[in-house]
Every structure is written in structure tokens, then in C-alpha cells.
Amino acid sequence: MDVHLTLGAVGERTDGIYRQLSAAIIEGRLAAGEALPPSRALAATLGVSRTTVAVAYDRLAAEGFTVTRRGAGTFVAEARASGQARRAPHGRTVTARPVWAGRTVPSTERAPAAFDFGIGIPDPALFPLAAWRRQVANELQLGSALLNGYAHPPGLPRLRAAIARHVGVSRSVRAGADDVIVTSGAQQAFDLATRVLVGPGDVIAVEEPGYPPVRSLFESLGATVVGVRVDEHGIVVSEIPPRARLVYTTPSHQFPTGVRTSLTRRLELLAWAETANAVIIEDDYDSEFHYGGGALDPLQSLDRAGRVLYVGTFSKTLVPGLRIGFLVAPESLHQPLAVAKRLSDWHTDTVTQGALARLLDEGIFAAHVRRANRVYAGRRERIIEGVERELSRWLDVVPSVAGLHLFAQLRADVPLRVTAVTDAAAAAGVGIQSIARFAHNEDSEQARRGFVLGYGAIEEASIDHGLRRLRDVLTRLT
């Protein structure tokens, strides 16, 4: 490895080499077992004599920082490498703004439960991998057209057009290619919209319970975030603060309760937004998976005042690792959103964009969604039947006709808190999640008694076994 060293006056060069190398070892920048540059090569790089370097190396070895292996070179000693950078000895520690205090990045390295009813995770086995490899290869063959220079921030024109056609047909969204901004996942879409529309101190209304990363994002941008209750008809519009500048909602499959916002409530929300001069972010995160009952139009297709920003993602329909989402915005916001996208990351990866455009244009994506929908429908039905057969003494499933998870509640006569159930289930190898994870008010009745059962990550053949094990857990607890 090349080592960056700076040298002072002639008489201080040996000491300078020693001090900088020993500091790099102590602070972990040079790891245990890592080879130092050969003394001859380092001397040539620094423009000093080999003796100058050799004397410094001898001192490092004498003090136990390094070991020399005959014929191999000089290496950092195991005993002296800390592997962890020390805090700077002088000056104050740099700290982030208070809004970031206590916030952490959730680990993605969790061991899956034997029976994983986790939510928000599509089945990677359903991903059309062969077709995706072919489309990526096709895009890479374009060479300089994609890889030389920067692309237009809102996205490749052919992907924006393909997305507009797709959501127009599958979700009745009214959009042309110019209305679509391609983003790095739905989370960036929320970020761009908020940066363009909301200032510090502005009030944003979110569903309670709801999607925690969005709430955290709004708070990090300085907004005042207010939770609004969700009932069996969706977000309770009458409880939205009059000063709200923006409302975030998941009307087609409320996260996490699965409630579908009624048409009456949708129209009420649109009317409120126009009267209050507010904006609605509609997160349609997984409703492409639909299981009957008659689909309701998105808010965006009902909106005649240009108040709705529609956000979609391919993380649930394909796989999260692709990091492709999109935002459909009214014409008045096209330019500000394009500028915000450029300032954020300039543009989303062009090879991935091009491959996805091909997947959409060739009908491969639509065929994948139809196939996945059949698979998920079978798993959903298996869970509903299993809960009725094995768990009806304890649980009621809330009706839901879309998405990748179901919401269940402990019956009123069951003297348990849902956290006790989820903890005991985890110990038994059954992965389920409490609604309290998604509620700002963890003591609400809904948070204390509700949990979610996902069916994206569990094979249908495992569902019955998992529910029986959950039955055994509930039997022991009661």
C-alpha cells in the first residue's frame, strides 16, 4: 500500500518518518499484518536516502510497532495495531446538529428467523434475474452513450416515458414523461419534494402509525411533524392541523395497518388540501400487488388542482437493492425538482435506468408483476386461513386487498401486550413485528395490540408451520 508521508527539514526526516508511521499504526490506519513499503521504494518516493528510511524502520521494529520477515518485508505487528482511530488530542469534538442525536442506521445484517413474516421485503427468488442480466448487458454495449459524462438529472427520457406509461395503465396515474423524476429509491423522492416545498418550522402531517423513515426525514429538515390518527377509513382529515403545509399519506395500502382510504375520505383530503393551500405526498409503495375487492383510484388521478405528488418505487416489485423510485409531480414543480435532484446526487445510475426501461418496454416487468402477484396472493390467503384455523382465539386479521403484509390485532379479551408476543415469537424462531415500531405514540391502543404479518420473505410451504409455532407461543403466554 502507498503511504502518504510529509517530511520537514533535513535533520528531522528520520524522526518524521517514524512519527507518522507509528501514528498510523496506533490509530488503525495501518492494520495489523499490513505490509509497509520496501525501504528502497519508500526512499525513492520521498526523495531521501535508503539509510534515512532504514533507521526509521529499525526504530519501529525496536519499539514493537513492526516485525520483519526475512525475504518478505516489514509488517505491522499484531500487538501494536489498535484497529480503531483515536480521538484527536487537541480541540473540541465536532458534533452534528441536535436533530441527529440518537439516530442510528439499522443493521441490515440480521439473521433471518426460521419463519420470517417480516414486512417490506419482496421475495428475491421471484426477481427476473436472467432477463435483468440481459438488459444490463445490452445497456453496457452502448458504451460511451451511457458512461461518458453526466446524464440529465430527472432521468433517462426513455425510462421516464416507460414509467409514465406503466403507472398510467396499471394505476390510472395521469402523467407524461416530463412529469416523472427518477430517484434513488422512494426515500429520495420524499427528500426532494420536502426540500422544494417545506421550510424549517413548517408543519407536516403524517399518518399515525406510519412509516418511520419519512417522519425522521421531515424532522431532519427542520419541519414540525404532527401525527394524525388513522381509522378504518384512512387518515382522519378532520384532525389534520390547519397550519399543515404538507400531508404524507399511503392511501392505497396504509402503512402499516393495511387500511384502504375510502373514496369519501380521499375526496375530503383533496378538498382540504385545496382550501388549506397545502400539498399531499401520496406514497403508493406496494399496491401493484392487488388481490380483488375493486381498486380505488390514486389521489393523483382524482386531483384536479395540482396538489398531489405521487411517489412509487421498484423496491417492492423487484428488489430493494436496485434503488430506483420515481416521483410524479405537477408541471409547476418540474424545474425546482430537477435542480434539487442535481444538487442531491446529479442523477441516478444510468445503466440501471436503461435496463429498467427495457424491462418495462418489453413487457418483462408486467409479466413479472403478474407472476409475483399470483405467488403473493397464495401466501396471503394461506396466512388468512391459517390465522382463522390456528389463531382465531387470540387474533383478528384486518381486511386488506393489496400489498405484501397483513395487519392483525390481539382480541379485546386477550390479556397480552403485543411486544410480549413478538419477543416470545422471536425466541421461538418466528419473525413478526409490533405496530409499536411504527407508532410515534407507542402507548396507543393500536400500538399496544397490533402487529404485522408479511408474506414477501416466507415461502408458502412454511406458513402453516410458522403459524402453528406462533400458536404454541400464544398458548404458553396465556
pLDDT tens, position by position, 185-234: 999 999 999 999 999 999 999 999 999 999 999 999 999 999 999 999 99
pLDDT band at 466 (very low <50, low <70, confident <90, very high): very high
Q: What is the rounded (10 degree) CA torsion for 417, 419, 420, 423?
A: 170
- pLDDT at position 473 is 96
The predicted model gives 71-85 an average pLDDT of 73
pLDDT at 273 over 90: yes
Burial class (CB in 10 A: 0-12, 13-18, 19+), 290: buried
Q: Could you tell me which of 434, 407, 435, 427 has the C-alpha nearest to residue 113?
A: 427
What are the tens digits of pLDDT across the range 4-39?
888 876 678 899 999 999 999 988 889 899 999 999
* Secondary element (H or E) of residue 216: helix 212-220
pLDDT at 85: 45
List, in order of start, the domains of the chain with CATH numbers: 10-76 (1.10.10.10), 115-120+367-477 (3.90.1150.10), 124-363 (3.40.640.10)
CB 311 within 8 A of CB 329: no
CB-CB contact of 286 with 404 (8 Å): yes
Q: At what angle do helices 50-62 and 13-26 cross, to 10 degrees?
A: 40
End-to-end CA distance of the chain: 62
CA angle (404 as vertex; 398, 405 as ends), nearest 5: 35
Q: For residue 79, what pLDDT is reported?
A: 66
Determine the Cα–Cα distance for residues 424 and 401; give it in Å rounded to an integer.
29
Percent of the chain with pLDDT over 70: 94
Q: C-alpha cell of 254?
A: 396504509
Grouping H, G, I as helix, E, B as strand and the rest as coil, residue 201 is coil
What secondary structure letter does DSSP report for 314? S
Statement: residue 395 has pLDDT above 60:
yes
* Average pLDDT of the residues in 80-94: 57
**In the numeric block, which cell numbers belong to residue 432?**
413478526
**What confidence tier does 70 reach under pLDDT thresholds 50, 70, 90?**
confident
82 has pLDDT over 70: no
> Per-residue pLDDT averaged across 300-322, rounded?
96
Question: Cell numbers 377509513 label which residue?
Answer: 233
Half-sphere exposure at residue 127, Cβ-oriented, CA atoms within 13 angstroms: 18
pLDDT tens per residue across span 122-173 = 999 999 999 999 999 999 987 655 677 889 999 999 999 999 999 999 999 9
Mean pLDDT, the chain, rounded, equals: 91
Of the pLDDT bands very low, low, confident and very high (cuts 50, 70, 90), residue 461 is: very high
State residue 84's pLDDT score: 47
Supply the pLDDT for residue 89.
53
The pLDDT value recorded for residue 149 is 82
- Residue 439 predicted with pLDDT over 50: yes
Confidence of residue 104 (pLDDT cuts 50, 70, 90): confident
**247-256 average pLDDT score:** 96
